[in-house]
Structure 1
Amino acid sequence: MDTNKITDVCCQMRFLANRQNALNAPVSTTDVTNIREGILLIAKDIEHEQPVLSNQLMMIKNSLFKEIPANWNTIYIYINSFAFGRAIEVLDILLAQSCCGQGDWWQLIHPRIAQASKKLFLDGSYANAACDAFIEINDRVKRLFQVVKPGEDVPDGDAAMKRVFSTKNPLIEFCDRSTDSGANTQKGFMEMLAGAMSALRNPKAHSNIQIGQEDAMRRLIFASMLMYKIDEAVLYSKITEPLKLQ
């Protein structure tokens, strides 16, 4: 597996995704070609060792961008946000697996998530490690609620995420919501956080699940992405966050 190629494509895609008003900004044909060809090469490179992820990349490749005619001889190309995000997620999994094989996987994980989950993961308690990562996110958001709304009853789980990161009257913002891109960012991360609380925070409460190492890894990567985004939101909203008691 060529990790340099994967890193290069990831960087190209994140650069496009992080542009101002990224969803409404046209993409050059050069960028489209480079990214599609890069995804194709990666998919072919991993087709024997990672057939499932290879197939996912092959299916996603042609959906990464959407073409919209401006007039009879001009076509603008835009990012397809769902396919783009899924492709980056698959590439991140490949990089994490590569790092795991080299003993460096935990460098990719948010420090709060590592503190909550690393020992359990290394002991083979994969389901508990994954659950505790999302419990840590829930606990952090509840503490942030107490900072912004001291004395009020603290919501929990998906209700906490929808209250703190609301699309209408958020207590904490991820970015400037006055643009379409900013409003979509607020809505998307609020929904991802709320969904994670419902689906991933404590699935063992519903059934005695057992998950494998790779599934736990994917969940910890997702939890880390959400936790790093909360870091950005706290910084952007100028929140003074209390130190966590060890």
Structure 2
Amino acid sequence: MDINKINTVCCWMRNLSNQPNVLNMPVSTADVTNIREGLLIIAKDIEREQPVLSNQLMTIKNRLFREVPASWNTIHIYINPFAFGQGIEVLDILLAQNFNRQDNWCHLIHPRIAQVSKKLYFDGSYANAACDAFIEINDRVKRLFQVVKPGEDIPDGDAAMKRVFSTKNPLIEFCDRSTDSGANTQKGFMEMLAGAMSALRNPKAHANIQIERDDAMRCLIFASMLMYKIDEAVLYSKIIEPLKSQ
């Protein structure tokens, strides 16, 4: 669902309907075309997820305006206030649903990820939001390496993940590795973290990866899951972690 498109069309309709003496003023062909095409695009975009609202928009689109002959070769177009009100109401519902959906997933984002990525995401900088989330994970793990191995050369990226969360001689453990389940947990999260560094830390460097709004959302949720697991590992391993500002 393209929230920017919905908001744009909704603003067009509100601005038009709020003009003085709007019921008696002809509407320009450009306004008619923009609004009808905008509603058509939105209706098709939400067809799978919101079939009822999609059908309503398709019906409303055809009723928004009425044509009145002004002369034998001239037709004036006026708004249909009832259909206009219905259209704005449906768009408002879609905007409200998007707001609630953002609330529903935003609380899943780890505070460290939110600090570096949330504003970028809502500003539309999706690639930067995704990139910075995994950079934050990398930076945190490197700081943890410094705590456990002060003075040693600090590895980076997937090498840092494999060194700090090694399956054989880890500096930080996620859980008790003496059981098969624990060993698998250590191995699985080490590999996920290493893979994230290779594939997702700099998505703009990969020509075959396009970061759109939903892709970025999934990246932030995945990064947050990994960051919360690091929280658990730090706690389990009794690591005294310095504040980020240090």
* TM-score normalised according to structure 2 size: 0.59
Structure 2 vs 1, CA of residues 179 and 142 (structure 1 numbering), >3 Å: closer, same or farther?
same
Structure 2 vs 1, CA of residues 160 and 99 (structure 1 numbering), >3 Å: closer, same or farther?
farther
Separation of aligned partners in 2, 1:98 and 1:152: 48
Separation of aligned partners in 2, 1:102 and 1:198: 28
Letter in structure 1 aligned against 2:215: D
Structure 2 vs 1, CA of residues 100 and 213 (structure 1 numbering), >3 Å: closer, same or farther?
farther
Indicate yes or no: 2:246 matched with 1:237: no
Are the equivalent residues in 2 in contact too, given 1:116–1:133 (CA < 8 A)? yes
Residue of structure 2 equivalent to 1:141: 141
* Cα-Cα RMSD: 2.2
Shift, 1:162, TM fit: 0.1
Q: Residues 172-226 of structure 1, C-alpha deviation per residue, up to 9 Å, x if partnerless?
A: 0000000000000000000000000000001212438542111111110000000
Indicate yes or no: 2:171 matched with 1:184: no
Q: Residues 13-52 of structure 1, C-alpha deviation per residue, up to 9 Å, x if partnerless?
A: xxxxxxxxxxxxxxxxxxxxxxxxxxxxxxxxxx9429xx
Indicate yes or no: 2:225 matched with 1:204: no
Separation of aligned partners in 2, 1:232 and 1:49: 36
Indicate yes or no: 2:193 matched with 1:193: yes
Separation of aligned partners in 2, 1:204 and 1:238: 36
Letter in structure 1 aligned against 2:165: F
Separation of aligned partners in 1, 2:102 and 2:232: 29
Are the equivalent residues in 2 in contact too, given 1:127–1:209 (CA < 8 A)? no
* 4+ aligned runs moved over 6 Å, structure 1: none
Letter in structure 1 aligned against 2:142: K
**Which one is further off, 101-110 or 175-184?**
101-110
Indicate yes or no: 2:103 matched with 1:103: yes
Shift, 1:132, TM fit: 0.4
Structure 2 vs 1, CA of residues 178 and 192 (structure 1 numbering), >3 Å: closer, same or farther?
same
Are the equivalent residues in 2 in contact too, given 1:161–1:193 (CA < 8 A)? yes
Are the equivalent residues in 1 in contact too, given 2:203–2:211 (CA < 8 A)? no
Q: Residues 82-113 of structure 1, C-alpha deviation per residue, up to 9 Å, x if partnerless?
A: xxxxxxxxxxxxxxx98852534321100000
Residue of structure 2 equivalent to 1:93: none
Are the equivalent residues in 1 in contact too, given 2:120–2:128 (CA < 8 A)? yes
Are the equivalent residues in 2 in contact too, given 1:99–1:105 (CA < 8 A)? no
Unaligned runs of 5+ in 1: 1-46, 51-96
Residue of structure 1 equivalent to 2:119: 119
- Superposition pairs of residues 148-163 of structure 1, within 5 angstroms: 148-163=148-163
Separation of aligned partners in 1, 2:100 and 2:180: 38
Q: Secondary structure at the match of 2:174?
A: coil
Letter in structure 2 aligned against 1:173: E
Separation of aligned partners in 2, 1:184 and 1:98: 38
**Highest CA radius of gyration, 1 or 2?**
2
Q: Secondary structure at the match of 2:107?
A: helix
Unaligned runs of 5+ in 2: 1-46, 51-96
Residue of structure 2 equivalent to 1:164: 164
Separation of aligned partners in 2, 1:100 and 1:150: 45
Shift, 1:139, TM fit: 0.1
Q: Secondary structure at the match of 1:103?
A: helix
Structure 2 vs 1, CA of residues 239 and 98 (structure 1 numbering), >3 Å: closer, same or farther?
farther
% identity of equivalent residues:
87
* TM-score normalised according to structure 1 size: 0.59
